[in-house]
Amino acid sequence: MGIPSISIYTNELIKFFGVKHLMRVGSIGGFGENIKIRDILIAQSASTDSAIIQNTFKAGVIYAPTADFDMLLKVYQSAQDAHVAVKVGNIFSADRFYNDEIDYQQLTDYGILGTEMETAALYMLAAKYHVQALSINTVSDNLTTGEALSAEDRETSFKEMAKISLETAIKCTDQ
């Protein structure tokens, strides 16, 4: 869990196993009144507070980790075909799970849909190695409203996300 861990996995999957398509499928904390529990958020881009990403580039460069458009289009089409509503946009990949210093309202005001802990690193490394990556997330809790799924619901109610993720994986292997 987190940017350091996904960085290890991503590097090893690409370097040692030749993986060309990577997908993060997981939970996300939603921001704002318009993000509901169980909404599926597809990360078009990932803002972050991660020093790992900030320190990768020389001074003055602020890198914007972004999804692979081809995979993004495939998952969006898979969702449309399955009549599954999704929201596509910017998310926030946090370096810390509990972070009182982050102004979540400001992130919400700038259109960020929610927060998780991996996507920015996944997208940066996919770009570095010229492979495709995508992050598909189901809202497990909302940091604005305080609404949250139970642990049991987190285990059993992410079926729509799993379905469109698998359909996308199949489309990626057909290339």
Q: Containing domain of residue 148, as a range?
A: 3-173
CB 5 within 8 A of CB 107: no
Question: pLDDT tens-digit profile of 36-92?
Answer: 999 999 999 999 999 888 888 887 788 899 999 999 999 999 999 999 999 999 999
CB 125 within 8 A of CB 10: yes
**Can you spell out the DSSP letters for 110-134?**
TT--EEESSHHHHHHHHHHHT-EEE
Q: Give me 28's structure tokens.
A: 């996300």
Instruction: Count other Cβ atoms within 10 Å, centred on residue 114.
Output: 30
> What CATH number is attached to the domain comprising 141?
3.40.50.1580
Q: What is the DSSP letter of 1?
A: -
Q: What is the DSSP letter of 70?
A: H
Report how many domains make up the chain.
1
Looking at the chain, how many residues does it have? 175
Distances (CA, A) of 71 to 5, 51, 103: 23, 27, 31
Question: pLDDT tens-digit profile of 100-119?
Answer: 888 999 999 999 999 999 99
Enter the pTM of the model.
0.93
pLDDT band at 157 (very low <50, low <70, confident <90, very high): confident
